[in-house]
Amino acid sequence: MEIQLSDENFEKEVLESELPVLVDFWAEWCMPCRAIAPTVSQIADEYAGKLKVGKLNIDVNPKMASTYQIMSIPTLVIFKNGEKKEQIVGNVPKSFIEDKIKPFLEPQK
Protein backbone atom coordinates (compact mmCIF):
# COMPACT_ATOMS: atom_id res chain seq x y z
CA MET A 1 0.00 0.00 0.00
CA GLU A 2 1.30 3.42 -0.90
CA ILE A 3 1.49 6.28 1.54
CA GLN A 4 0.31 9.73 0.49
CA LEU A 5 3.28 11.99 1.11
CA SER A 6 3.24 15.74 1.65
CA ASP A 7 5.73 18.49 2.40
CA GLU A 8 4.55 18.18 6.02
CA ASN A 9 5.00 14.42 6.55
CA PHE A 10 7.98 13.84 4.23
CA GLU A 11 10.63 14.03 6.95
CA LYS A 12 8.82 11.60 9.25
CA GLU A 13 7.69 9.12 6.57
CA VAL A 14 10.75 9.18 4.29
CA LEU A 15 13.83 10.65 5.93
CA GLU A 16 13.24 9.00 9.32
CA SER A 17 12.02 5.67 7.92
CA GLU A 18 13.82 2.53 9.05
CA LEU A 19 12.91 0.89 5.75
CA PRO A 20 14.16 2.09 2.36
CA VAL A 21 11.55 4.32 0.71
CA LEU A 22 10.54 4.58 -2.95
CA VAL A 23 8.98 7.99 -3.58
CA ASP A 24 6.89 8.54 -6.70
CA PHE A 25 6.94 12.25 -7.62
CA TRP A 26 3.89 12.75 -9.84
CA ALA A 27 1.04 15.07 -10.85
CA GLU A 28 -2.61 14.57 -11.88
CA TRP A 29 -2.11 15.96 -15.40
CA CYS A 30 0.93 13.77 -16.16
CA MET A 31 -0.03 10.86 -18.44
CA PRO A 32 3.26 8.92 -17.98
CA CYS A 33 2.69 9.25 -14.21
CA ARG A 34 -0.71 7.63 -14.59
CA ALA A 35 0.83 4.92 -16.77
CA ILE A 36 3.46 3.97 -14.18
CA ALA A 37 1.08 4.18 -11.18
CA PRO A 38 -0.11 0.53 -11.38
CA THR A 39 3.52 -0.63 -11.47
CA VAL A 40 4.33 1.46 -8.39
CA SER A 41 1.28 -0.03 -6.63
CA GLN A 42 2.42 -3.56 -7.49
CA ILE A 43 5.87 -2.86 -6.08
CA ALA A 44 4.30 -1.44 -2.91
CA ASP A 45 2.30 -4.65 -2.43
CA GLU A 46 5.07 -7.09 -3.37
CA TYR A 47 7.74 -5.46 -1.21
CA ALA A 48 5.52 -4.68 1.80
CA GLY A 49 7.54 -4.94 5.00
CA LYS A 50 10.84 -4.52 3.12
CA LEU A 51 10.20 -1.25 1.28
CA LYS A 52 7.95 1.71 2.00
CA VAL A 53 6.35 3.29 -1.08
CA GLY A 54 4.98 6.82 -1.13
CA LYS A 55 3.43 9.14 -3.68
CA LEU A 56 4.07 12.87 -3.65
CA ASN A 57 1.92 15.12 -5.84
CA ILE A 58 4.33 17.88 -6.90
CA ASP A 59 1.54 20.35 -7.68
CA VAL A 60 0.25 20.15 -4.11
CA ASN A 61 3.69 19.75 -2.48
CA PRO A 62 6.18 21.86 -4.46
CA LYS A 63 8.67 22.21 -1.58
CA MET A 64 9.94 18.60 -1.68
CA ALA A 65 10.00 18.52 -5.48
CA SER A 66 12.16 21.65 -5.37
CA THR A 67 14.37 20.35 -2.55
CA TYR A 68 15.20 17.20 -4.52
CA GLN A 69 15.43 19.04 -7.85
CA ILE A 70 12.72 17.04 -9.59
CA MET A 71 12.83 18.41 -13.14
CA SER A 72 10.53 15.98 -14.93
CA ILE A 73 7.92 13.49 -13.88
CA PRO A 74 7.35 10.73 -13.20
CA THR A 75 10.49 10.54 -11.12
CA LEU A 76 11.00 7.71 -8.65
CA VAL A 77 13.56 8.32 -5.93
CA ILE A 78 14.93 5.70 -3.55
CA PHE A 79 15.83 6.93 -0.08
CA LYS A 80 17.70 4.93 2.55
CA ASN A 81 18.71 6.17 5.99
CA GLY A 82 17.39 9.62 5.10
CA GLU A 83 19.56 9.97 1.99
CA LYS A 84 18.62 10.08 -1.68
CA LYS A 85 20.33 7.03 -3.18
CA GLU A 86 18.91 6.49 -6.64
CA GLN A 87 16.68 8.32 -9.11
CA ILE A 88 14.65 6.88 -11.97
CA VAL A 89 13.03 9.24 -14.48
CA GLY A 90 10.20 8.32 -16.82
CA ASN A 91 7.79 5.45 -17.32
CA VAL A 92 10.19 2.51 -17.08
CA PRO A 93 9.51 -1.25 -16.86
CA LYS A 94 8.86 -2.85 -13.48
CA SER A 95 12.01 -4.99 -13.81
CA PHE A 96 14.12 -1.83 -14.21
CA ILE A 97 12.68 -0.36 -10.99
CA GLU A 98 13.20 -3.65 -9.14
CA ASP A 99 16.84 -3.79 -10.24
CA LYS A 100 17.35 -0.31 -8.76
CA ILE A 101 15.55 -1.16 -5.49
CA LYS A 102 17.15 -4.51 -4.69
CA PRO A 103 20.60 -3.23 -3.59
CA PHE A 104 18.90 -1.18 -0.86
CA LEU A 105 16.74 -3.95 0.61
CA GLU A 106 17.92 -5.70 3.74
CA PRO A 107 19.04 -9.27 3.10
CA GLN A 108 16.52 -11.88 4.21
CA LYS A 109 17.47 -13.70 7.40
Burial of residue 71 (number of CB atoms within 10 Å: 0-12, 13-18, 19+): exposed
Preceding peptide of 74 cis, ω within 30° = yes
Our answer to whether residue 30 is catalytic in this structure is: yes
Catalytic residue among 22, 23, 30, 77: 30
H/E stretch holding 97 reads: helix 94-101
Secondary structure letter of residue 18 according to DSSP: S
Residue 12 backbone phi and psi in degrees, to 5: -65, -50
Catalytic residue among 33, 43, 65, 73: 33
Q: Which residues partner with 6 through β-bridges? A: none
Our answer to whether residue 33 is catalytic in this structure is: yes
Residues with catalytic function: 30, 33
